[in-house]
Amino acid sequence: MSEEILEVKERKLKVSDMAENLIGSEIITLAWQINEMIANGKKISNLTIGDFDPKIFTIPSELKDEIKKAYDENQTNYPPADGTHELRRVVSSFLSKRLGLDYGMDEILITSGARPVIFAAYNTMVDVNDTVIFPVPSWNNNHYTHLTRAKAITVETKPENNFMPTAADLEPHIKKANLISLCSPLNPTGTVFKRDEINDICDLILNENNRRGENEKPVYLLFDQIYWLLTMGETKHYNPVVISPEMRNYTVFVDGISKAFAATGVRVGWGYGPKSIIDKMKSITSHMGAWAPKAEQVAVSRYLGNDELVDSYLENYKSEIIKRLDGFYYGFKKLKDEGFNVDAIEPQASIFMTVYINLIGKKKSDGSVIKTTKDITNFLIDDAMLALVPFSSFGASNDSVWYRISVGTCGISEIELVIQNLRTALSKLS
């Protein structure tokens, strides 16, 4: 006997205001749109996404071997909620050796990449309707603020400060702040805080917390240093707790292997901070089930404990990144010298760099005039076959003509091609 399948009319469902108004990642959306154009036969250099092409940037081969080995050992059950004992021990010693940071194993939380650390930190330190201050351009703070149902105060940073926020930028808002979220080396700019700049921000936070006293929630600092191993040349990475030890009470760090070892898909990250905060974050991530896979944790603990392997990987990996960043930097400077209205900020760290492409008012060969940043972005894609993310996608104002170049998917031969295509397209403007 056959049963008739009833067709159920799809009902438009109401969801929470938070979910209704949450926007996905603008960068991932743009990157996929470009990938689709490429799949349809268009030739575009896609330098949008902050990820790696694993054929160009592979994870350390010893880490890969350790991951396979851990699966062969059947390391496939639930890991402890805060991460395996061994990985927390190795991370603790890594931080102490390389950064001078003293965090015990119960002050470290291992998660599936760094994102759950950020989500849990926001939810631990920020209440509904609290205020989060963050600089723009910056990565995803707008979304985490929204997910926490908090209010955002954004501070637009300036090219003359390498797009890093200063204490003076933050000061007008400090009394309202519950959390300040900072990142260095910064995504999207590839620039870092100088020692004095962090020191002044720490003073601002400490003064405000002394004023508030013990019965009021302090201003916390979320300090995302996931790119700290990727500094270039003379650039030094500084962190607030080494510079100003009292900041230890108020700081939660975001960190992990995703960027430092080209391992975005391996999903092992960690946060560290005061034990009372890390404990709460652990409860949140364990309810989310956001622990890193057990075998990957076992493998990372075995790999990260081997200084020689780590150093030799980083030496080669960083030199490949620098080649690309320098290639674009000098390429843009050359275009500037040739009279085009472009510029670049010298790359300091990470896999990103900042370029300026101001074509407002220029006339294209079809007679149309470039009027907005969106027009510039589209001109780059259509005429220069180059896809970059505008800083407006990182919260900067819509008329910003600054862009991020990401080199994680870029082959060496692509650099000259990008610069030449850009030169050709720019030459056709009047």
Ligand X SMILES: Cc1ncc(COP(=O)(O)O)c(C=O)c1O
- The residue ranges that bind ligand X (CB under 6 A) are 50, 113-115, 139, 183, 187, 224, 226, 254, 256, 258, 264, 269
Q: Return the number of the residue (107 or 224) whose C-beta is nearest ligand X.
A: 224
241 vs 426, beta carbon nearer ligand X: 241
Residue closer to ligand X (CB basis): 113 or 327: 113
Q: C-beta of 112: minimal distance to ligand X in Å?
A: 8
As measured in angstroms, the least distance from the Cβ of 427 to ligand X is 34
- Report the distance separating Cα 132 and Cα 219, nearest Å: 9
113/218 with CB nearer ligand X: 113
Q: Supply the minimum distance, in Å, between the C-beta of residue 291 and ligand X.
A: 13
> Cis before residue 245, ω within 30 degrees of 0?
no
DSSP label at 349? B
Q: How far is the CB of 26 from ligand X (least distance, A)?
A: 13
Least CB distance to ligand X at residue 265 (A): 9
Contacts of 353 (CB under 8 A, 6+ apart): 189, 190, 325, 328, 329, 344, 345, 347, 404, 405, 407
Burial class of 23 by CB neighbour count within 10 A (0 to 12, 13 to 18, 19+): exposed
The three-class DSSP label of residue 110 is strand
The torsion angles phi and psi of 18, rounded to 5 degrees, stand at -60, -50
Looking at beta carbons, which residue is closest to ligand X? 113
Measured from the CB of residue 139, what is the shortest distance to ligand X in angstroms? 5
Q: In Å, how far are 109, 344, 401 from 379, measured between CA atoms?
A: 45, 19, 13
Q: How far is the CB of 345 from ligand X (least distance, A)?
A: 17
Residue closer to ligand X by CB (options 145, 187) is 187
* Beta carbon of residue 283, minimum distance to ligand X (angstroms, whole number): 20
Give the SS3 label for residue 104.
Answer: coil
Rounded to a whole number of angstroms, the minimum distance from the CB of residue 257 to ligand X is 8
In whole angstroms, what is the distance from residue 95 CA to residue 239 CA? 11
Spatial distance between the Cα atoms of 224 and 272, rounded to a whole number of angstroms: 11
Q: For residues 157 and 187, which CB has a smaller minimum distance to ligand X in the complex?
A: 187
Distances (CA, A) of 223 to 72, 264, 273: 37, 19, 10
What are the residues whose beta carbons fall under 8 Å from the beta carbon of 132, sequence distance 6 or more? 122, 126, 141, 144, 145, 148, 150, 151, 152, 153, 177, 178, 179, 180, 181
Contact 232, 191 (CB under 8 A): no
State the Cα–Cα distance between residues 313 and 307, nearest whole angstrom: 10
Give dist(CA 85, CA 356) in Å, integer. 46
CA angle, residues 22, 27, 33, in degrees to nearest 5: 105
Closest contact distance (angstroms) between CB of 188 and ligand X is: 8
Rounding to the nearest 10 degrees, give the CA dihedral for residues 163, 165, 168, 171.
Answer: 150
Nearest to ligand X of 137, 218 (CB atom):
137
**DSSP string over 229-298:** T-B-TT-----HHHHSGGGGGTEEEEEESTTTTT-TTT--EEEE--HHHHHHHHHHHHHHT-PPPHHHHH
| Degrees to nearest 5, angle at CA 69 with 55 and 106 | 100
Q: How far is the CB of 408 from ligand X (least distance, A)?
A: 10
- C-beta of 256 vs 331, nearer to ligand X: 256
Spatial distance between the Cα atoms of 314 and 311, rounded to a whole number of angstroms: 5
